Amino acid sequence: MKWDEFFVTGEPMIYAADVSIVLVSLAIVIGLTYFKKWGYLWREWLTTVDHKKIGIMYILSALIMLFRGGVDALLMRAQLATPDSKFLDAQHYNEIFTTHGVIMILFMAMPFVIGMMNVVVPLQIGARDVAFPRLNAVSFWMFFMGAMLFNISFVIGGSPDAGWSAYFPLASLEFSPTVGNNYYSLALQISGIGTLMTGVNFIVTILKMRAPGMKLMRMPMFTWSVLITNVIILFAFPVLTVALALMMFDRVFGSQFFTMANGGMDMLWANLFWVWGHPEVYIVILPAFGIFSDIISTFSKKNLYGYKSMVVSMVAISVLSFLVWAHHFYTMGQGAMVNGFFSITTMAIAVPTGVKIFNWLFTLRKGKISFTSPMLYAMGFIPIFTIGGVTGVMLAMASADYQYHNTMFLVAHFHYVLIPGTVFGVLAGMHYWFPKMFGFRLNERLAKTAFWLIIVGFNVAFMPLFFLGLNGMTRRMYTYSASTGYGPLNMIATIGALILAVGFVVLCYNFFYSFRHSPRNEGGDPWDARTLEWSTPSPVPVYNFAKVPVVHSEDAFWHAKKHNVPLYEEGPYEEIHMPNNSGQPFILGVIMFFLGFFLVFSWFIPAIIAGVGVIIMLAVRSFERDHGYHIPPKEIAATEQKLRGDTV
């Protein structure tokens, strides 16, 4: 391979990206050295096993990826704003919508959601950490290195260009000869394994590590949603693991799973991909439902309406999510009977989802609603998501789907589901739990400005796409002629995308503004909230709870506040056992990165060396005898005194 094939060349935008990557890396290195922060970075972040810090790192990575995916989106919208535009060529456009999809789903939505789980779930159930803190760090570094591997593709070797669903035979070596889709299979594989481990970790955490008295039916709704989500992860991700492995075998080792000759079957890929892909949608949306449930209840000053039916509906959604995958390809010719079956299962999902919408609306009833920034996102979610939901029912009807499939109507639909669902969900959660993570709230005025820009921009950007789709505009076309008449609506959509982008800029500016100006003395419970995490001081000490809380009812903290029942038993502190930090997860992640990178380029000898490195890391972990450390009662008392100004 020649160097000019190794590095992507010939594109001014890529050169600009090269330069900016080098400059940013240099700035980071110089900054860390100048401020003598290398040790701090290593000790406090890279080696941490603390679920709160891991959660923050997930969220930070997700925000960076949101920026990358957002830039991709803006480039696409810029290209489509006018007919016959020459801004991007076909290949570049194809790469951009592919990376936009992959990054937004797998490297933005997933880590954002998992970050929220990490920060919040142990606090909500009264645990000191997740069940396997070290494994949690491994999960994070696998995700992070997978994301980095995917991101370097656009400067080294070329990005994948076959869409985020990478349908074969288009994604085969024959029709996509660059290494782009090798990156796809390996980067997703590495981060997918991390996600699977997260699934195991959180199921054990939630089922086994709840505080005394926290029965399953007393858990906060977010914790419930996380439990169900992780069960879906556990059953869905192995399918992705297999699909990606077969893809890698086809592309790197010349096997014949999805090829066009020797018995290969392209339809098999589509099936495997969507058997994972549809549950994946619920993996990113159920936790958002949980976040909205907690937020709506908190800011209506009421308990969640229909708690039991909320749980049952989530379980129903999770089961149904595995029975609908073929609705992604009704047009594959499987006949009216199969399509009819999948139409009905798909529409059936509307029933439990509708139950949730009505329960949220009735939670508001007779409440005392305050429109804080998290609540605004939750209230923005309901009407917009309902549009996404009802268009979903329309798409579920196979006969009609023959006309919507692959069009902008579909694009509009899933953005109407995923943006109000997942993105508003995690943004609401971020504003809501921000004081728990950092000890201060985000500025409300700026947060609300950002919200209104985002919600207006979103609708202006995506509403026109419904009509473009019905007018025959297909997705993924890099250009269209003026005679199609698609021009004006596309221009409106681009303007909407710009408003949306401004909204995100304001949202990010708010971090800096609030870091400098927000008050720091608001205590552990600035929102007058209901669940256990708010009974801890903000920011939360490393051990979370000085004493393990005792739960007497649903909304445990609210109950304790209203009825003056102590959450914590009287008596002196006891020693707390904590896990040690470790550099191993980070090192393992780095080795996995190189293993993936070498396989992308079919450099087998370095790959084997990296593979041996992985086995050595596993052996090191097996032989390690690390029993953690203990925090003495005196130190706990001192910490609590400092954070709360009193003893519990």
Partner 1 sequence: MKKKRWLFSLIFISVVMLLSGCDTKLMVLDPKGPVAKTQSNTIIFSILMMALVLIVVYILYIFMLTKYRASKTPDDYEPPHMEGSKWLEFIWTAIPIIIVAILSVVTVRTTYAVEKVPAGYEDQKPLVIYASSSNWKWHFSYPEEGIETVNYVNIPTHRPVEFRLYSYGPISSFWVPQLGGQKYAMSDMITKLNLVAEHEGSYMGKNSNFSGKGFAQMEFEVLAQSPADYTKWVKEVQQTAPKLTEQEFNSVLHTDFVGRKSYSSTHLKFSAPPMDMSEHGHGGDNSTDSKESGKDSADHMQDMGDMKDMNDHSSMEHGH
Partner 2 sequence: MKINDTLPLEYRTEENSNKIFGFWLFLGAEIVLFSTLFAVYFTLWNRTGNGPTGKELFEVGGVIWETFLLLTSSFTCGLGIHAMRLGLKKPMMIFFVVTLLMGLGFLGIEITEFVNYVHEGATLQTSAFLSSLFVLLGTHGLHVTMGILWGAGILIQVGRQGFTDETANKSFIFSLYWHFLDVVWIFIFSFVYLKGLM
Q: Which of residues 171-200 bind partner 2 (CB under 8 A)?
A: 196, 199-200
The site partner of 508 among partner 2, partner 1, none (C-beta below 5 to 8 Å per kind) is none
Cis ω for the linkage preceding 519 (within 30 of 0): no
Determine the Cα–Cα distance for residues 450 and 453; give it in Å rounded to an integer: 5
256 binds partner 2 (CB under 8 A): yes
Q: Which stretch binds partner 2 (CB under 8 A): 305-313, 366-374, 599-607, 611-619?
A: 611-619
Among the candidate windows 117-125, 139-147, 207-215, 323-331, which touches partner 2 by CB under 8 A?
Answer: 207-215
**Identity of the residue, 211 or 398, whose beta carbon is nearer to partner 1 in the bound complex:** 398
- DSSP H or E segment with residue 630: strand 629-631
Q: Any idea of the CA torsion for 224, 52, 42, 141, to the nearest 10 degrees?
A: 10
| Residue with smaller CB distance to partner 2, 156 or 209 | 209
Cα–Cα distance measured from residue 17 to residue 179, given in angstroms and rounded to the nearest whole number? 19
Least distance from partner 2 to the Cβ atom of residue 633, Å: 16
Whether cis (ω within 30° of 0) applies to the bond prior to 169 is yes
Burial 318-348 (b: 16+ CB within 10 A, else e): bebbbbbbbbbbbeeeeeeeebeebbebbbb
- Residue 619 touches which of partner 1, partner 2, none (CB < 5 to 8 A by kind)? partner 2
Whether the Cβ atoms of residue 239 and residue 322 lie closer than 8 Å to each other: no
Residue 234 interacting with partner 2 (CB under 8 A): yes
Q: Minimum Å distance from CB 596 to partner 2?
A: 17
Half-sphere exposure of 547 (CA within 13 A, CB side): 15
Which residue's CB is nearer to partner 2, number 69 or number 133? 133
Residue 167 near residue 160, CB atoms below 8 Å:
no
Q: Judged by CB under 8 A, does residue 167 bind partner 2?
A: no
476 binds, among partner 1, partner 2, none (CB under 5 to 8 A by kind): partner 1
Nearer to partner 2, 231 or 501 (CB): 231
The listed partner (partner 2, partner 1, none) that binds 475, CB under 5 to 8 Å by sort, is partner 1
Among 32, 60, 78, 268, binds partner 2 (CB under 8 A): 268
Among the candidate windows 206-214, 412-420, 421-429, 535-543, which touches partner 2 by CB under 8 A? 206-214
* Coil, helix or strand at residue 68: helix
By CB under 8 A, name the one of 265, 393, 498, 550 that touches partner 2.
Answer: 265
Amino acid at residue number 336:
A
**Taking CB within 5 to 8 Å according to partner kind, which of partner 2, partner 1, none is near residue 552?**
none
Classify 35 as helix, strand or coil: coil
Contact between 237 and partner 2 per CB under 8 A: yes
- Token pair for 58: 């997930």
Among residues 246, 379, 430, 610, which is the contact residue for partner 2, using CB under 8 A?
246
Q: CA–CA separation, 588 vs 235, rounded Å?
A: 25
592 lines the binding site for partner 2 (CB under 8 A): no
Q: In terms of CB distance, is 200 or 456 closer to partner 2?
A: 200
The residue (of 245 and 382) whose beta carbon lies closer to partner 2 is 245
- Asked whether position 577 contacts partner 2 by CB under 8 A, the answer is yes
Give the DSSP letter of residue 306: T
> Smallest distance, Å, CB 196 to partner 2?
6
The piece of 4-12, 47-55, 262-270, 311-319 that touches partner 2 (CB under 8 A) is 262-270
Our CB check for partner 1 shows the closer of 82 and 474 to be 474
Catalogue the E-assigned strands of 219-344. none
Looking at the Cβ atoms of 235 and 509, the one nearer to partner 2 is 235
Cβ-based neighbours of 313, under 8 Å, separated by 6 or more? 352, 353, 355, 356
Among positions 119-148, residues that touch partner 2 (CB under 8 A) are 131-132
Q: Are residues 32 and 42 in contact, defined by beta-carbon separation less than 8 angstroms?
A: no
Q: Does 591 bind partner 2 (CB under 8 A)?
A: no
- Rule CB under 8 A: is residue 604 a binding residue for partner 2? no
Q: Are 104 and 548 in contact (CB under 8 A)?
A: no
- Here the tokens at position 387 are 């549009």
Per DSSP, the residues of 525-588 read -TT---SGGGGS-SSPPTTS-SS-----SSSHHHHHHHHT--SS-SS----EEEPPP-SHHHHH
365 binds, among partner 2, partner 1, none (CB under 5 to 8 A by kind): partner 1
DSSP per position, 370-381: ---HHHHHHHHH
Binds partner 2 by CB under 8 A, chosen from 163, 213, 238, 613: 238
Determine which residue in the list 2, 86, 208, 563 makes contact with partner 2, applying CB under 8 A.
208
What is the separation, in whole angstroms, between the first and last Cα of the chain?
66
Token pair recorded at residue 179: 């290494």
Q: Is 149 in the site for partner 2 (CB under 8 A)?
A: no
Alpha carbons 225 and 310: distance in angstroms, whole number: 9
> Between residue 300 and residue 359, which ones bind partner 2 under the rule CB under 8 A?
none
What phi and psi, each to the nearest 5 degrees, are found at residue 578? -125, 150
Q: Which does 239 bind (CB under 5 to 8 A by kind): partner 2, partner 1, none?
A: partner 2
Residue 329 touches which member of partner 2, partner 1, none, C-beta under 5-8 Å by kind: partner 1
Interface residue with partner 2 among 91, 255, 309, 471 (CB under 8 A) is 255
Query: What is the contact surface with partner 2 in residues (CB under 8 A)?
Result: 131-132, 196, 199-201, 203-204, 207-209, 234-235, 237-239, 241-243, 245-246, 249-250, 253-257, 259, 261-265, 268, 272, 275, 577, 615, 618-619, 622-623, 625
